Amino acid sequence: MTLLPLQDQTCVVTVTYGERTHLLAQVLRAAFRCGAACAVVVDNGTPRPAQEALASLQDEFGADVLHVVRLAENEGSAGGFHAGLAHAARLRDMRFIWVLDDDNVPEENALSILLARWKRLGADERNAMMSFRADKRQYRKVLDRKTLHWIEPDAFFDFNLAHLWNGGKRKAAIREGCFELGVAAYGGFWFARSWLDRIALPPQHYHLYFDDYAFSQQIPAAGGHIWLCPDSRLHDIDESWRANRRAIHPWLDSGTEERRVFCTIRNRLWLERSLARSLTLHRLNMALYLLVKVIAPNLGTMLTRVGSAPAFLRRFRLIRRAFRAGLS
């Protein structure tokens, strides 16, 4: 294991659940090859076999290198990363935190590239960095369109009728080959540990989805910056539940767990409501998004699956409940 210089030491924070330690092991080994000094793994209510596998990993790397924080039950990504970052905040000998999902395998130079770009940006701890994940559509759009990925006021899931008259999406700043972000997902987010003394930990009541955005958006709000670094690459070794969107929108797919759909919609609304400047425009964008992005593209599929009408009806009821919860 090759460590970065002492003054640049980085701690990985990740959360695992279910029977995923075979994925986690690949992530940890790759992160340590990159130069990470230690890792905090949150055991998010895993079953006994996974706990035993985690114990074996801790034996392999050493308890001083691999810290395991066990939660009695699965508290979702929000509760898991809240616990992991709280533990990492107490590791005062670590200067940086690198947040990874338990299926994000970094390339061998991913961490050293982040550090090098951070130094070229001025070695300023107000700057946070983000590794690139090719499976993330929002990051591919940033590179292709040079637009800012953020929670845009009055937009709903980035859909904003105002783009017809306000010039469209805001352009991203570009410095040293890195692209400005307004929010960041957990997987690949690298920042100075000192930020954990200044901003709130992920909101546990989100449970799943957009708790990473609620956490990361505090950095730009406090005068910092987040920079997407395309040359620092992670590879996802487990397929996202959103990957089937070409067949049918995941909100309407009966194979998508209801909890995922509910939390996605509710939590996004929680985020957006706090930034809305015009409630009327925000509501209009919500209605148009449902019509243009969810209903219209999938109308043919729904009509050809007549036998699935009760299932689609249940889904629309679920979506309505999620909207009500997000707006209440």
Q: Is the pLDDT of residue 209 over 70?
A: yes
Rounded distance between C-alpha atoms, residue 306 and residue 308, angstroms = 5
Helix/strand/coil for 88: helix
CB proximity list for 259: less than 8 A, separation 6 or greater: 208
Overall average pLDDT of the 142-163 stretch: 95
Residue 294, C-beta contacts closer than 8 angstroms, at least 6 positions apart: 249, 251, 252
* pTM (predicted TM-score): 0.93
Average pLDDT score, the chain: 94
Residue 321's contacts (CB-CB under 8 Å, 6 or more residues apart) are 262
Contact by Cβ (8 Å): 83, 42: yes
Q: Is 76 left (phi over 0), alpha (psi -120 to 50) or beta?
A: left
- Whole-number Å distance between alpha carbons of 171 and 154: 17
pLDDT category of residue 167 using cuts at 50, 70 and 90: confident
The CATH class, in words, for 6-236 is alpha beta
For 22-54, write each residue's pLDDT tens digit. 999 999 999 999 999 999 999 999 999 999 999
Domain assignments of the chain as residue spans, ordered by start: 6-236, 241-327
pLDDT score, position 306: 65
Res 246: pLDDT: 58
H or E element, residue 67: strand 66-71
